[in-house]
Amino acid sequence: MVRFISCLRRREDISESEFRQYWDSDQFADLVTRMARTVGAEHYQFSRTLVVEANEYVRRMRGGADPFDGVVEYWFSGRIAGLDELLEIPSARETFAAMNDFQSQFVDISRSCGFFTEG
What is the domain-level CATH number for residue 112? 3.30.70.100
Mean pLDDT of 91-100: 93
* C-alpha to C-alpha distances, 27 to 5, 10, 103, nearest whole angstrom: 20, 17, 10
Query: What is residue 51's predicted lDDT score, i.e. its pLDDT?
Result: 87
* Angle subtended at Cα 111 by Cα 22 and Cα 45, rounded to the nearest 5 degrees: 45
**CA–CA separation, 6 and 36 (whole Å):** 13
pLDDT, average across residues 51-72: 93
Give the Cβ contact number of residue 101 at 10 Å. 10
In the predicted structure, residue 89 carries a pLDDT above the cut 90: no
pLDDT grade for 81, boundaries at 50, 70 and 90: low
Mean pLDDT of all residues in 48-63: 92
Region 101-116 average pLDDT? 96
- ∠ CA 75-81-84, nearest 5°, is 80
pLDDT at 79: 64
pLDDT of residue 1: 86
Choose among 110, 31, 35, 24: nearest CA to 74.
35
Closest CA to 65 of 73, 74, 56: 56
Domain that holds residue 68: 2-118
The predicted model scores a pTM of: 0.87
Q: What is the chain's length?
A: 119
Q: Is the pLDDT of residue 9 over 70?
A: yes
Rounded to the nearest 10 degrees, how much is the dihedral formed by the CA atoms of 84, 85, 86, 88?
110
> Domain tally for the chain?
1
